[in-house]
Chains A and B, each alone.
Chain A
């Protein structure tokens, strides 16, 4: 039963962290620096999480690097999210079977 206790504690803590800002920040924030900060947060977080972790998705760094560059080029050229994601996924899958 103690395991379910842990799960409950985890779920409550994590949900509170997610929900509290939603309930407190009901109005738009006017402060320009803070607005800019919030605009930049998602892009910075995503790029930080992507690199260099993406290079460790396969055993061969060069295969991961090819997948990374492919996704970067496709995305920069406004290929849709689904195709960018599946494109680098398929390429990496095939490359791993090279002799």
Chain B
């Protein structure tokens, strides 16, 4: 069971790894701009696994900012991982050995979380480990590729790979919207709100990471108050790891 879930995780993780590889190339290019060596950039990617956080760090490193400022900026930019960990902790079996929580925490990124939390029923940690085992190397290798081969890969290829990453997001939330009618207006509001934050100059004072946090908190909270999910409906949700894809 565990090895089957691990392999399923690896398979679902391929688009994540490809997308990471590409996004991470841009991280590598930015790292070179901030004066990092390829090894420093690789260590940073391997230990952080966060696109927005790493991007933001380069300006701070280049300007020799205090460590405290670095810690604070990372905490704010990566606050969404805190929400994600809260959500993911609810998917774990109470009998699961505690050490799994320390390993799972390392893999909480937007994409790995998105795939893991939308598994039916309880989360088998080996599924997440499967994703991590292809996605985390993809992230680190992309960074190294970026810093070493600036300007070699064609832009059309990088663009298409970026699209693959978004295609994966869509493949997570659209099937859910089909099954749960309440989600449709919520997703529509989310996209409209996101477009407004993107287009209106009044919101320019928010970093892109903060915009995601603000939108996620307000819309999810509003949705939870307006459309609370009944307990009864949740209980019907039995573990269906045998048949369930990455759908809700």
Contact = CB atoms under 8 A, between A and B. Distances in A.
B90 A46 contact: no
B177 interface: yes
Nearest to A24: B89
B12 to A, nearest CB: 6
Q: Which 8 A-B pairs rank lowest in CB-CB distance, beginning with the nearest?
A: A75-B174, A93-B160, A19-B105, A89-B164, A85-B15, A21-B85, A36-B224, A37-B224
Contacts of A11: 44, 47-48
Interface of B: 11-12, 14-15, 18-19, 35-36, 40, 43-44, 47-50, 53-54, 57, 60-61, 64, 67, 70-71, 74-75, 78-90, 94, 101-102, 104-106, 108, 110, 113-115, 117-118, 156-157, 159-178, 183, 186-187, 190-191, 193-195, 198-199, 211-212, 215-216, 219-221, 223-225, 227-229, 231, 234, 245-247
Interface of A: 2-7, 9-15, 17-23, 25-29, 32-54, 57-59, 64, 67-68, 71-72, 74-76, 78-82, 84-90, 92-93, 96-97
Given A75-B174, A81-B12, A86-B15, A43 B187 contact: yes
12 contacts: A4-B43, A14-B74, A21-B85, A36-B224, A40-B186, A41-B216, A42-B117, A43-B172, A78-B247, A89-B163, A93-B156, A97-B156
Contacts, number: 293
Question: Which has the most chain A C-beta neighbours within 10 Å: B165, B231, B245?
Answer: B165
B11 to A, nearest CB: 7
B186 A50 contact: no
B163 A44 contact: no
B156 A96 contact: yes
A17 B36 CA distance: 25
Given A14-B48, A18-B82, A42-B87, A48 B175 contact: no
B78 A17 contact: yes
Given A22-B101, A33-B228, A17 B191 contact: no
Nearest to A37: B224
B191 A47 contact: yes
Contacts of A35: 90, 229, 234
B80 A7 contact: no
